[in-house]
Structure 1
């Protein structure tokens, strides 16, 4: 019961007036929902890709057919343009990417060489990196088939085309769907949400830090209240405020501004709520290592921003070196993103249980550490 009283007092301090409710509760959640809706709409826009095929052989046409299967892109065929014009088109932002198939593409394959396709893009993003890998895989498939026929002295256009068609049929026959749904890996949108949750947790913990500076916490520990009740009360108060803002943010993002996470908004709220637990624990652990609110803000920035960067909040973890990918496992943001990705692939809540449990474990360990180090010294309590 003492924990609920302490939690209620913390909530009243944060949302005690109408001005606090608007500026501290409603406005941040509404602004974030608008940002998420805008970013999601930009990500959902089909990328425009300009393609020029100078090759007259059947293998250049095979690459073209492969590109035609990519339904999530808008393909523009410009066969009279040069490679330099394709590059300039991307630099002038007339296209999101450009692909140039050289005139000797088929002839290089027939001579046993592995040709390269030119792909131009302004920056590295998830969709264009995936497309580049797909094109590399198609070129490698044609090259390996050519080497196989060359070893049997049967390398010609007819035999190579027949072998590629047969391999394509075998690949399609072996493809079986493993999940119902589409993987919607949106690191920027999810990263904005997680960063918002961390900022919420930092603000609520700053009030606890203020109690410590003004010796209010020392008087609480001198009262006939258990230390665990004080720690749980501060935790519940921080979580209660964050939960209200998460409800507003998720509700507006999904139902008012058209954000589609690829699964139920209720499941998105559940993952963010579990991450909120871990975020409050992380901020309370940080608060226990500093002496005042100014240091808390400085240390939080030094910890929150780098951990968001290496955990995949702004770009996929797969883009980073191996040692950084291993380091990312020690951040709660990675496991929140992992849970969201599993849910977006249609795997169901049961397959997201493990990362959610890891988030809860993060919260328990960090909160226990924070509760110990945030406790005032015996001298402060006695005075």
Structure 2
């Protein structure tokens, strides 16, 4: 009960801070809008196809989504075009598309994402229709011409950065209380130590979950961003990342005495860790040294979990990623609490 009262008090104080409100409400919306703006300029992906005519129903169905532009290429050129990143996806159609034994297309790509999965679905539907002429092939039934082509990773990357920044703002409040001796006086009160820590943790988690919820509602229902995964799965990944961010910032609050210094360090770390963790540039495109560094950054494990879902893995396959995020939070949280709790001579 005491923990709930402490959490409610901290939430009221945070909501009085304009910067905290901006991190919870405004910046997630801004991140979603910015990602839409960045990727709306290149709304079509290039695809090269072999063993197919330009006037094919399949090509018309693919281009009808508004997300792809198809060109015809020789079968020997497809692999090279994909390697040189001149096209997003290379498709080698079977020579006999009406024979079930040969009715499997070869899909070539560097990194699987929602666009690759979409192409695969359209081609599978087409080949199924060729094998069964009575089937009515209409391409991809749920294709969204303008919105489905947007790359959602940037929106998730922005949100990861804002979640980390918000966790730092919460720790600023604790550090201000510590410097003003308010935090010390709380430990002198007839309240157990764990209730004080739990109250602060609850406040951070509740407001962080509100921030995540605001982002998902805006991105999915207002901006119509197609993440290619269920909203619930994405929500769980982001909550685990939130726990890791809170843990790291609690550790920073225990090491740094100045609230201004903590705010500056948090801002720098949010940007640098997001960049090195694959929030904006995939880790697969980084050097081997940067890949090794990324393993020690929570953003990397959160983005990898998201990419696994995009690639078609089940939620059970995310166990390692979620466990590592939880360990990030637990280890840093334990260290931070040990440092933050006032010594007996201070009380």
Same fold (TM over 0.5): yes
CA drift of 1:227 comes to 2.0
Q: How far apart in 2 are the matches of 1:365 and 1:244?
A: 25
CA drift of 1:174 comes to 9.4
Which one of 179, 201, 205 corresponds to residue 213 of structure 1?
179
Tell me the SS of whatever aligns to 2:69: strand
Answer whether contact 1:218 1:376 (CA < 8 A) is retained. yes
CA drift of 1:298 comes to 2.6
Q: How far apart in 1 are the matches of 2:102 and 2:181?
A: 69
Answer whether contact 1:336 1:355 (CA < 8 A) is retained. yes
Answer whether contact 1:10 1:234 (CA < 8 A) is retained. yes
Q: How far apart in 1 are the matches of 2:105 and 2:33?
A: 43
Q: How far apart in 1 are the matches of 2:321 and 2:314?
A: 13
CA-based RMSD of the aligned residues comes to 4.1
User: 2:190 aligned with 1:248, yes or no?
Assistant: no
User: 2:246 aligned with 1:280, yes or no?
Assistant: yes
Aligned to 2:130: none
Aligned to 1:27: 26
| Cα distance change on mapping 1:20 and 1:190 into 2, 3 Å | closer
Q: How far apart in 2 are the matches of 1:290 and 1:264?
A: 39
Structure 2: gaps of 5 or more residues: 119-149
Tell me the SS of whatever aligns to 1:312: coil
CA drift of 1:251 comes to 0.5
| More divergent stretch after superposition (245-254 vs 303-312) | 303-312
TM-score by length of 1: 0.65
Which one of 180, 199, 210 corresponds to residue 233 of structure 1?
199
Structure 1: gaps of 5 or more residues: 52-60, 78-100, 120-126, 139-164
Tell me the SS of whatever aligns to 1:182: helix
CA drift of 1:8 comes to 1.0
Alignment of 1:136-215 (within 5 A): 182=117, 186-215=152-181
Alignment of 1:252-271 (within 5 A): 252-271=218-237
Q: How far apart in 2 are the matches of 1:262 and 1:133?
A: 17
Which one of 280, 302, 323 corresponds to residue 289 of structure 2?
323
Tell me the SS of whatever aligns to 1:315: coil
Deviations 1:125-165 (A, max 9, x none): xx996447988xx9xxxxxxxxxxxxxxxxxxxxxxxxxx8
User: 2:80 aligned with 1:74, yes or no?
Assistant: no
Which one of 276, 279, 295 corresponds to residue 313 of structure 1?
279
